[in-house]
Chains A and B, each alone.
Chain A
Amino acid sequence: MRIFKRDLKKMENQNLEQPSQIIVQNPSLNANQGKKGLPSVGKRSKRIFLILIALIIGVILIIILISNIQNGSKNKPADTNTTPNNQTSTQSPKPIPADLQNLNTQIEQAEKNLLDPYQDESKLNPPLVDLKVEF
């Protein structure tokens, strides 16, 4: 009888310890119990997934960075503040209103066009062709 009771106690203790053993052996089983609809992903696959996502983000960031650099170099305004022959101006230039500056540029362009007109038309002389076939 004594032996039986002792065995019974042992068995009870084993039963109490069992859940903790299960957690250690297969934690995902326990963690996902009751969460229906979510895929069961192991720790290792989680890591791989996160590394992949990080890589994708990295690639996207690099693409954006490169495109921004390219756009920046394209849109870089011409340096208008340089003075010829390294001369430094003694007084600060009077600011020109943007609309007047714009108008001035347009007038200068119009003048340039008028000084050298018909650039396309001058290339269009009727072609000279040899039509003396004579057989």
Chain B
Amino acid sequence: MLKIAVILFLTVSLLTANYSPPVAPVFAQTTNKQALDDYFFQLEIYQDSHSDFVIARDSYKQFGTLASKTEAFNKTKEYLTQVTTLLISYDNAIITILANNNGLTNEQKDPYVLKVKDHKTNFGNIQIRINQIKRLEDFNQIAGDIETEKQIHDENGEVAVELSKIGYINSNILSLNQYIGLIDVKISAAKRSGKNVSYFEIGPQEIRKRLTSSNELVAKSLEIIASTDRTASGKVALADQNLSEAQKQLLEATSFFKEIIRNLI
């Protein structure tokens, strides 16, 4: 009996040794998609909330009854709370996108992340004030405060998004820089094996030229974003021009890469 038990145990152990249970996905940090999905979800709720608010406000203005006033109070409270929730989820999305951007250093990201975090805090404080309001008329002041905060918030948001674009282009430069190292190794091997290497003399040079040029354009874009002598939209427009040129240079570099690989094969 003991023998049978031991044999059975060993058999089961051997059978289960190769079995690996399905591994549950681990989310170390919020992905861009999750953050954007949350933002769009809040945007949908905002739209519903806005419709309810408009109906309640117009109804109160038309009839002026106590019931319509109570309804207008409740719906305005819900609506303004949702406005701030939407703006906070927008800030969260920006913070996430910057955090997940591999083309920027922490030193480059941090000042903008801090600005966006400040807005989040301010909208959070406004939410507390909304909850404390007792009179319908007091919502006018709160709406004005949200508008003032939102103006600076939107400008900083636009700049932060532009910074993320710069990081995106920079991460592509970094990748292509790694690939040029691999190409160099392959070209050396091809030369040693006596392959026709005429194209290999030009291709890598052209790639390097374009990578250097796009690198300079990215640095210029970063300078523009950090400058204080332009408005937010002015900075974004100018940085965008530089990024378009950098993007063009990188696309040309990828064409050279493909040509070299074709020759190596």
Are B182's CB and A115's CB within 8 A? no
- Where chain A touches its partner, the secondary structure class is helix
Report chain A residues within 8 Å CB of B60: 135
**Which single member of A103, A124, A133 contacts B80 (CB below 8 Å)?**
A133
Nearest Cβ distance between residue A43 and chain B, in whole angstroms? 12
In the complex where A133-B80, A135-B137 touch, is A107 in contact with B179 (Cβ < 8 A)?
yes
Interface residues as binary, A60-90 with B (CB distance below 8 Å gives 1, 0 otherwise): 1101100100000000000000000000000
Nearest Cβ distance between residue A107 and chain B, in whole angstroms? 5
Interface residues as binary, B215-256 with A (CB distance below 8 Å gives 1, 0 otherwise): 000000000000000000000000000000001001100110
Report chain B residues within 8 Å CB of A56: 12
A106 adjacent to chain B (CB < 8 Å): yes
Report chain B residues within 8 Å CB of A50: 4
Interface range on chain A (Cβ under 8 Å from partner): 35 or more
B165 adjacent to chain A (CB < 8 Å): yes
Interface size on B, residues (CB 8 A): 68
Are A111's CB and B251's CB within 8 A? yes
Nearest Cβ distance between residue A95 and chain B, in whole angstroms? 9
Are A110's CB and B175's CB within 8 A? yes
Nearest A residue to B2 by beta-carbon distance?
A: A38
In the complex where A60-B15, A67-B22, A126-B153 touch, is A133 in contact with B258 (Cβ < 8 A)?
no
B63 adjacent to chain A (CB < 8 Å): no
Contacts from A to B (Cβ < 8 Å): 38, 41, 46, 50, 53, 56-57, 60-61, 63-64, 67, 94, 96-97, 99-100, 103-104, 106-108, 110-111, 113-115, 117-118, 120-121, 123-124, 126-127, 129-135
Task: Identify 27 residue pairs between A and B in the complex whose beta-carbon atoms are under 8 Å apart, listed by A's number.
Answer: A56-B12, A61-B15, A64-B15, A64-B19, A103-B186, A106-B175, A107-B254, A111-B254, A111-B258, A113-B172, A114-B254, A118-B168, A120-B33, A120-B97, A120-B164, A124-B39, A124-B97, A124-B161, A127-B46, A129-B146, A129-B150, A130-B50, A133-B139, A135-B57, A135-B72, A135-B139, A135-B140
